[in-house]
Amino acid sequence: MLDYGPTHFSQGRMDFAWEELSDSERAQAYADWEAGRGLLGGDPRYRPNSHLLPPWGLEQPFFRALALDDARATNGARLRAMIAGNAPVEVEIGFGRGDFLLDRAARASGTLFLGYETKTKATRLALARVARFELQNLWLSDDDARFSLPRVLPAARVAAVHILFPDPWWKSEHRIKRLFSPPFVDLLARALRPGGLLHFKSDVEEYSALVRYLVEQQPAFAPHDPALAERIGPYAPTHREQWCARNGKGVWGLYFARRS
Protein backbone atom coordinates (compact mmCIF):
# COMPACT_ATOMS: atom_id res chain seq x y z
CA MET A 1 0.00 0.00 0.00
CA LEU A 2 1.15 3.55 -0.67
CA ASP A 3 1.99 5.60 2.40
CA TYR A 4 0.77 9.11 1.64
CA GLY A 5 -0.46 11.44 4.38
CA PRO A 6 -3.83 13.21 4.33
CA THR A 7 -4.45 16.37 2.33
CA HIS A 8 -6.77 19.10 3.56
CA PHE A 9 -9.47 20.59 1.35
CA SER A 10 -12.23 23.11 1.64
CA GLN A 11 -15.69 22.33 0.29
CA GLY A 12 -16.49 24.96 -2.32
CA ARG A 13 -19.89 26.61 -2.13
CA MET A 14 -20.70 27.56 -5.67
CA ASP A 15 -23.65 26.79 -7.88
CA PHE A 16 -23.23 24.16 -10.56
CA ALA A 17 -26.11 24.49 -12.99
CA TRP A 18 -26.57 22.81 -16.36
CA GLU A 19 -29.29 22.18 -18.90
CA GLU A 20 -29.66 19.78 -21.79
CA LEU A 21 -27.72 21.08 -24.75
CA SER A 22 -29.46 22.74 -27.65
CA ASP A 23 -28.33 21.96 -31.19
CA SER A 24 -26.48 25.28 -31.34
CA GLU A 25 -24.73 24.66 -28.01
CA ARG A 26 -23.69 21.20 -29.14
CA ALA A 27 -22.35 22.63 -32.42
CA GLN A 28 -20.42 25.27 -30.47
CA ALA A 29 -18.85 22.58 -28.28
CA TYR A 30 -17.47 20.87 -31.39
CA ALA A 31 -16.27 24.17 -32.84
CA ASP A 32 -14.43 25.00 -29.62
CA TRP A 33 -12.91 21.52 -29.61
CA GLU A 34 -11.59 21.84 -33.16
CA ALA A 35 -10.10 25.24 -32.33
CA GLY A 36 -8.34 23.90 -29.22
CA ARG A 37 -10.23 26.21 -26.89
CA GLY A 38 -10.31 25.26 -23.23
CA LEU A 39 -7.16 23.12 -23.27
CA LEU A 40 -5.34 23.52 -19.96
CA GLY A 41 -2.00 25.14 -20.58
CA GLY A 42 -3.11 26.22 -24.04
CA ASP A 43 -2.96 24.43 -27.36
CA PRO A 44 0.41 22.60 -27.59
CA ARG A 45 0.47 23.16 -31.34
CA TYR A 46 1.22 26.82 -30.66
CA ARG A 47 3.62 26.34 -27.75
CA PRO A 48 7.34 26.95 -28.40
CA ASN A 49 9.48 23.79 -28.45
CA SER A 50 6.46 21.53 -28.00
CA HIS A 51 8.31 18.92 -30.08
CA LEU A 52 10.95 18.59 -27.37
CA LEU A 53 10.77 16.85 -24.01
CA PRO A 54 11.84 18.83 -20.93
CA PRO A 55 15.31 17.88 -19.66
CA TRP A 56 13.86 16.32 -16.50
CA GLY A 57 11.70 13.98 -18.62
CA LEU A 58 14.44 12.53 -20.81
CA GLU A 59 14.73 8.74 -20.48
CA GLN A 60 11.96 8.76 -17.87
CA PRO A 61 8.53 7.08 -18.22
CA PHE A 62 7.21 10.43 -19.38
CA PHE A 63 5.69 11.54 -22.67
CA ARG A 64 4.12 14.43 -24.52
CA ALA A 65 2.11 13.81 -27.66
CA LEU A 66 4.07 16.21 -29.87
CA ALA A 67 7.45 15.08 -28.51
CA LEU A 68 7.23 11.35 -29.20
CA ASP A 69 9.86 11.77 -31.90
CA ASP A 70 12.33 13.75 -29.78
CA ALA A 71 15.61 12.17 -30.92
CA ARG A 72 17.44 13.10 -27.71
CA ALA A 73 15.79 10.20 -25.84
CA THR A 74 14.16 6.83 -26.35
CA ASN A 75 10.91 7.80 -24.60
CA GLY A 76 8.74 7.78 -27.70
CA ALA A 77 10.12 4.54 -29.15
CA ARG A 78 9.75 2.70 -25.85
CA LEU A 79 6.20 3.91 -25.26
CA ARG A 80 5.13 3.09 -28.81
CA ALA A 81 6.53 -0.43 -28.46
CA MET A 82 4.59 -0.95 -25.24
CA ILE A 83 1.36 0.34 -26.77
CA ALA A 84 1.88 -1.95 -29.77
CA GLY A 85 2.17 -4.94 -27.45
CA ASN A 86 -0.61 -7.15 -26.13
CA ALA A 87 -0.91 -5.79 -22.59
CA PRO A 88 -4.24 -4.18 -21.72
CA VAL A 89 -4.11 -0.40 -21.33
CA GLU A 90 -5.74 1.71 -18.63
CA VAL A 91 -5.76 5.50 -18.50
CA GLU A 92 -6.33 7.90 -15.63
CA ILE A 93 -7.09 11.49 -16.53
CA GLY A 94 -6.22 13.96 -13.79
CA PHE A 95 -4.28 11.70 -11.42
CA GLY A 96 -3.38 14.51 -8.99
CA ARG A 97 -1.08 13.09 -6.35
CA GLY A 98 -1.27 9.66 -7.93
CA ASP A 99 -2.65 7.60 -5.05
CA PHE A 100 -5.14 5.62 -7.14
CA LEU A 101 -2.94 5.29 -10.21
CA LEU A 102 0.28 4.16 -8.54
CA ASP A 103 -1.56 1.67 -6.38
CA ARG A 104 -3.41 0.27 -9.38
CA ALA A 105 -0.21 -0.06 -11.41
CA ALA A 106 1.44 -1.87 -8.50
CA ARG A 107 -1.48 -4.33 -8.30
CA ALA A 108 -1.57 -5.10 -12.05
CA SER A 109 1.96 -5.48 -13.38
CA GLY A 110 0.66 -6.99 -16.63
CA THR A 111 -1.32 -3.86 -17.54
CA LEU A 112 0.12 -0.73 -19.15
CA PHE A 113 -1.05 2.44 -17.40
CA LEU A 114 -0.98 5.96 -18.82
CA GLY A 115 -1.61 8.85 -16.43
CA TYR A 116 -2.44 12.44 -17.38
CA GLU A 117 -2.08 15.42 -15.05
CA THR A 118 -1.80 18.95 -16.44
CA LYS A 119 -0.07 20.23 -13.29
CA THR A 120 3.57 19.69 -14.20
CA LYS A 121 4.76 19.82 -10.58
CA ALA A 122 2.36 17.00 -9.66
CA THR A 123 3.54 14.99 -12.66
CA ARG A 124 7.18 15.35 -11.61
CA LEU A 125 6.37 14.31 -8.05
CA ALA A 126 4.51 11.26 -9.35
CA LEU A 127 7.46 10.36 -11.58
CA ALA A 128 9.64 10.24 -8.49
CA ARG A 129 7.13 7.84 -6.91
CA VAL A 130 7.15 5.65 -10.03
CA ALA A 131 10.91 5.31 -9.58
CA ARG A 132 10.60 4.77 -5.84
CA PHE A 133 8.15 1.90 -6.28
CA GLU A 134 10.10 0.53 -9.29
CA LEU A 135 7.01 0.41 -11.49
CA GLN A 136 7.77 -0.66 -15.05
CA ASN A 137 4.20 -0.39 -16.40
CA LEU A 138 3.29 3.24 -15.75
CA TRP A 139 3.89 6.26 -17.98
CA LEU A 140 2.93 9.84 -17.14
CA SER A 141 2.21 13.01 -19.10
CA ASP A 142 1.42 16.63 -18.32
CA ASP A 143 -0.47 16.95 -21.60
CA ASP A 144 -4.15 17.75 -21.63
CA ALA A 145 -5.61 14.31 -22.37
CA ARG A 146 -8.18 15.84 -24.73
CA PHE A 147 -5.32 16.76 -27.05
CA SER A 148 -2.99 13.85 -26.36
CA LEU A 149 -5.06 10.68 -26.25
CA PRO A 150 -6.05 10.48 -29.94
CA ARG A 151 -2.47 11.30 -30.94
CA VAL A 152 -0.87 8.65 -28.72
CA LEU A 153 -3.28 5.71 -28.64
CA PRO A 154 -4.95 3.92 -31.55
CA ALA A 155 -8.72 3.49 -31.49
CA ALA A 156 -10.20 0.76 -29.29
CA ARG A 157 -6.89 0.22 -27.45
CA VAL A 158 -8.01 1.10 -23.91
CA ALA A 159 -9.59 -1.33 -21.45
CA ALA A 160 -10.54 1.28 -18.83
CA VAL A 161 -10.54 5.05 -18.36
CA HIS A 162 -10.62 6.44 -14.82
CA ILE A 163 -11.66 10.06 -14.25
CA LEU A 164 -11.82 10.72 -10.53
CA PHE A 165 -12.90 14.03 -9.03
CA PRO A 166 -12.16 16.32 -11.99
CA ASP A 167 -12.24 20.07 -11.44
CA PRO A 168 -15.87 21.25 -11.85
CA TRP A 169 -14.75 24.67 -13.15
CA TRP A 170 -17.57 26.39 -11.31
CA LYS A 171 -17.53 29.84 -12.91
CA SER A 172 -19.52 30.32 -16.11
CA GLU A 173 -16.53 31.90 -17.88
CA HIS A 174 -14.48 28.78 -17.12
CA ARG A 175 -16.95 26.18 -18.33
CA ILE A 176 -15.07 25.79 -21.59
CA LYS A 177 -12.26 24.19 -19.53
CA ARG A 178 -14.61 21.56 -18.10
CA LEU A 179 -13.41 18.11 -19.12
CA PHE A 180 -16.73 16.59 -20.13
CA SER A 181 -18.33 17.79 -23.35
CA PRO A 182 -19.88 15.97 -26.34
CA PRO A 183 -16.58 15.77 -28.29
CA PHE A 184 -14.73 14.53 -25.22
CA VAL A 185 -17.26 11.73 -24.78
CA ASP A 186 -16.75 10.90 -28.47
CA LEU A 187 -13.01 10.69 -27.77
CA LEU A 188 -13.63 8.24 -24.92
CA ALA A 189 -15.86 6.13 -27.16
CA ARG A 190 -13.06 6.00 -29.74
CA ALA A 191 -10.37 5.13 -27.20
CA LEU A 192 -12.19 2.34 -25.36
CA ARG A 193 -12.33 -1.16 -26.74
CA PRO A 194 -15.70 -2.99 -26.92
CA GLY A 195 -16.68 -3.80 -23.35
CA GLY A 196 -14.22 -1.23 -22.00
CA LEU A 197 -15.03 0.63 -18.79
CA LEU A 198 -15.48 4.35 -18.14
CA HIS A 199 -15.13 4.95 -14.39
CA PHE A 200 -16.06 8.39 -13.03
CA LYS A 201 -16.37 9.86 -9.54
CA SER A 202 -17.17 13.31 -8.20
CA ASP A 203 -18.22 14.91 -4.94
CA VAL A 204 -20.37 17.37 -6.94
CA GLU A 205 -23.73 15.71 -7.52
CA GLU A 206 -24.70 18.11 -10.30
CA TYR A 207 -21.48 17.44 -12.21
CA SER A 208 -22.17 13.72 -11.98
CA ALA A 209 -25.65 14.34 -13.39
CA LEU A 210 -24.16 16.28 -16.30
CA VAL A 211 -21.62 13.52 -17.00
CA ARG A 212 -24.33 10.87 -16.96
CA TYR A 213 -26.43 12.91 -19.38
CA LEU A 214 -23.52 13.46 -21.80
CA VAL A 215 -22.28 9.87 -21.75
CA GLU A 216 -25.73 8.35 -22.15
CA GLN A 217 -26.33 10.65 -25.13
CA GLN A 218 -23.42 8.93 -26.91
CA PRO A 219 -24.79 5.73 -28.54
CA ALA A 220 -21.50 3.88 -28.06
CA PHE A 221 -22.06 3.71 -24.30
CA ALA A 222 -24.54 1.58 -22.39
CA PRO A 223 -26.34 3.34 -19.50
CA HIS A 224 -24.69 3.69 -16.11
CA ASP A 225 -24.53 0.31 -14.38
CA PRO A 226 -23.49 0.31 -10.67
CA ALA A 227 -22.65 -3.41 -10.91
CA LEU A 228 -19.64 -2.51 -13.07
CA ALA A 229 -17.95 -1.13 -9.94
CA GLU A 230 -16.94 -4.72 -9.18
CA ARG A 231 -14.50 -4.52 -12.10
CA ILE A 232 -12.40 -1.99 -10.19
CA GLY A 233 -11.61 -4.37 -7.35
CA PRO A 234 -9.46 -3.28 -4.39
CA TYR A 235 -8.03 0.22 -4.81
CA ALA A 236 -6.37 3.09 -2.98
CA PRO A 237 -8.80 6.04 -2.84
CA THR A 238 -7.69 9.38 -4.20
CA HIS A 239 -6.79 12.09 -1.69
CA ARG A 240 -10.09 13.80 -2.50
CA GLU A 241 -12.08 10.64 -1.83
CA GLN A 242 -10.23 10.24 1.47
CA TRP A 243 -11.17 13.80 2.42
CA CYS A 244 -14.83 13.17 1.55
CA ALA A 245 -14.87 10.05 3.73
CA ARG A 246 -13.34 11.87 6.71
CA ASN A 247 -15.76 14.75 6.41
CA GLY A 248 -18.94 12.84 5.63
CA LYS A 249 -19.28 14.28 2.11
CA GLY A 250 -21.13 12.42 -0.61
CA VAL A 251 -19.38 10.80 -3.56
CA TRP A 252 -21.19 9.94 -6.78
CA GLY A 253 -19.70 7.15 -8.89
CA LEU A 254 -20.67 6.33 -12.46
CA TYR A 255 -19.74 3.23 -14.46
CA PHE A 256 -20.31 2.87 -18.19
CA ALA A 257 -19.45 0.04 -20.55
CA ARG A 258 -18.46 0.64 -24.16
CA ARG A 259 -20.91 -1.23 -26.35
CA SER A 260 -19.62 -3.86 -28.78
**Residues acting as catalytic residues:** 167
The 3-state DSSP class for residue 116 equals strand
Q: State CA 92 to chain mean position distance.
A: 4
DSSP of 156-212: T-EEEEEEES-----SGGGGGG-S--HHHHHHHHHHEEEEEEEEEEES-HHHHHHHH
Q: For residue 161, list its beta bridge partners.
A: 91, 198
Q: State CA 211 to chain mean position distance.
A: 14
Confirm if 140 and 68 have CB atoms less than 8 A apart: no
Residue type, 19: E
Give the number of other Cβ atoms within 10 Å of residue 93's Cβ.
Answer: 23
CA angle 44, 100, 259 (to 5 degrees): 75
Cα dihedral 77/79/85/89 (nearest 10): -160
